């Protein structure tokens, strides 16, 4: 009994000793100095109080690179004040840092000082515009001020910054389109013209002036500009006949990038028979081995093919060729269903065979869909011929030419 009491006493002493030691270590680790200061407050204090230019530049740089919201009122006031600093580098960095002043109570104040600085200080204009982009500020006050400035003589860098803003937040109104079209014709700089077309293509609302510019600039010698124009037409002009006029020109291009972009535009348009483009697409299938171009050209025939024997024969040849890529063969099966209604026998035979014996499930499905489309179009064509006696006697090529552009 006495032995047990001794053991218990020893264990209790050990526990108490360890607990006391842990408490001593915890007290030694506890910070007893002044409360820590947020780094943005330290940088702000350096900016406002230091007389050392290098230290102030470093502080301004750190604030400009800070990735979290700046919510401290004193820091925002320091940044606003140093936007007028004599040192250009500090002024630019402080302006950039205001992109992170993102609490609601600062929004109107920051917008006002940025607009004021934009109006009076040409050295920071492009920086101010990029801050508006970073702040996602699409308020009418900002949008209209920046749009009006595009009507004035503007340095290239400033114009590009403005157009970057409008590509994101352009209103797409008639005034917006007219202003950008005017800039395109006044400023021959290739970068500016590309940026104008990009901003019109992404934000316009199908205005006549926008479509006219996109159609005209597709004939430019600058390939990047042509590609941007084609992209804009794909977004803006799906129902405008000027798009077909433009792609009739660009589909003749020997530039692979322009050709591929043109095929993308055609494949975004509603079905419209076009004998000229149809003939060119057959040439492309004969001339290019690139699977992407072949597939897009085949799909384009489904949009604008003139349903002639030449079109059907080209599709059948491509479908039967052993080296044809699977994606192109699938596209050929689908397009045959749309284009072979006037010459259905061979197409029906091909599609029926592959619908049951195709090498892959995708090919079988494409052939089944193509066959169904072919039969539906045949029935529709027969019904139309019955309701208009004499029209069946008109050759398919003649009918296609009559509706072609």
Condensed to tens digits (0 to 9), the pLDDT of residues 137-164 reads: 999 999 999 999 999 988 999 999 999 9
| 87-103 pLDDT, tens digit each | 999 999 999 999 998 77
Burial of 55 (0-12, 13-18, 19+ CB in 10 A): middle
Residue 204 above 80 pLDDT? yes
What pLDDT does residue 331 have? Answer: 96
- Backbone angle region of 206, left / alpha / beta, with phi > 0 → left and psi within -120 to 50 → alpha: left
Cα(145)–Cα(119) distance, integer angstroms? 9
Average the pLDDT over 293-322 and give the result. 95
Contact at 8 Å (CB) between 144 and 114? no
Q: Could you write out the three-class secondary structure of 128-193? A: HHHHHHHCCCCCHHHHHHHHHHCCCCCCHHHHHHHHHHHHHHCCCCHHHHHHHHHHHHHCCCHHHH
Average pLDDT of the residues in 212-229: 93
Structure tokens at 215: 């159609």
- Token pair, residue 103, equals 């609490």
Distance, in Å, from the CA atom of 323 to the CA atom of 329, rounded to the nearest integer, reads: 10
Alpha-carbon separation of residue 10 from 5, 23, 261 (angstroms): 9, 20, 87
CA-based nearest residue to 262, from 276, 273, 251 = 251
CB 278 within 8 A of CB 311: yes
Right CATH for 42-134 from 1.25.40, 1.25.10, 2.60.40, 2.40.170? 1.25.10
Residue 405's pLDDT is 34
pLDDT score of 394? 41
- Return the pLDDT at 248: 95
Higher pLDDT, residue 386 or 263? 263
Q: Where are the domains of the chain?
A: 42-134, 271-385+395-405
CB atoms within 10 A of CB 236: 22
For 263, other C-beta atoms within 10 Å of its C-beta total 26
CA distance 307 to 376: 15
Q: Among 137-141, 267-271, 345-349, 387-391, which stretch is predicted with the lowest mean pLDDT?
A: 387-391
Q: pTM of the prediction?
A: 0.78
Q: Which range, of 175-184, 238-247, 329-338, averages the lowest pLDDT?
A: 238-247
Tell me which of 6-20, 25-39, 111-125, 267-281 is least confident. 6-20
pLDDT in tens, 313-344: 999 999 999 899 999 999 999 999 999 988 89
Q: How far apart are CA 261 and CA 266, in angstroms?
A: 9
The answer to which of 39-53, 136-150, 386-400 has the lowest mean pLDDT is 386-400
Residue 149 is predicted with a pLDDT of 95
**How far apart are alpha carbons 329 and 312 in whole angstroms?**
14
Average pLDDT across the chain, whole number: 87
Evaluate if residue 80 carries a pLDDT over 70.
yes
């Amino acid at each position: 009994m006495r032995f047990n009491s001794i053991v218990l006493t020893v264990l209790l002493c050990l526990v108490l000793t360890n607990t006391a030691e842990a408490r001593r270590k915890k007290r030694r680790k506890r910070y007893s100095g002044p409360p820590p200061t947020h780094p943005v407050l330290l940088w702000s204090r350096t900016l406002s109080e230091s007389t050392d230019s290098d230290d102030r530049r470093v502080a301004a740089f750190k604030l400009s690179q800070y990735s979290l919201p700046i919510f401290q009122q004193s820091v925002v006031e320091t940044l606003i004040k140093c936007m007028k600093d004599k040192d250009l580098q500090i002024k630019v960095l402080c302006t950039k840092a205001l992109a992170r002043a993102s609490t609601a109570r600062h929004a109107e104040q920051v917008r006002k000082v940025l607009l004021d600085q934009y109006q009076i200080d040409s050295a920071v204009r492009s920086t101010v515009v990029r801050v508006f982009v970073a702040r996602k500020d699409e308020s009418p006050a900002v949008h209209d001020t920046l749009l009006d400035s595009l009507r004035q003589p503007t340095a290239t860098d400033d114009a590009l910054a403005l157009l970057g803003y409008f590509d994101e937040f352009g209103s797409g109104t008639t005034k917006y389109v007219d202003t950008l079209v005017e800039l395109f014709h006044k400023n021959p700089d290739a970068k500016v013209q590309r940026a104008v077309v990009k901003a019109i293509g992404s934000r316009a609302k199908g205005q006549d002036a926008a479509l006219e510019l996109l159609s005209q600039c597709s004939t430019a010698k600058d390939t990047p500009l042509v590609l941007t124009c084609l992209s804009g037409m794909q977004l803006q002009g799906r129902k405008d006949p000027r798009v077909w006029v433009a792609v009739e020109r660009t589909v003749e291009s020997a530039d692979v990038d322009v050709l591929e972009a043109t095929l993308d535009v055609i494949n975004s348009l509603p079905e419209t028979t076009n004998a000229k483009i149809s003939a060119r697409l057959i040439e492309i299938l004969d001339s290019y081995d690139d699977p992407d171009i072949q597939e897009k050209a085949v799909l384009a025939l489904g949009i604008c093919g003139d349903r002639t024997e030449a079109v059907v024969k080209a599709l059948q040849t491509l479908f039967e060729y052993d080296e044809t890529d699977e994606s192109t063969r699938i596209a050929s099966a689908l397009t045959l269903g749309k284009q072979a209604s006037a010459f259905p026998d061979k197409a029906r035979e091909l599609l029926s065979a592959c619908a049951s014996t195709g090498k892959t499930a995708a090919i079988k499905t494409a052939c089944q869909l193509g066959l169904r489309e072919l039969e539906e179009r045949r029935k529709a064509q027969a019904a139309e011929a019955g309701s208009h006696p004499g029209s069946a006697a008109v050759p398919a090529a003649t009918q296609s030419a009559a509706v072609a552009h």
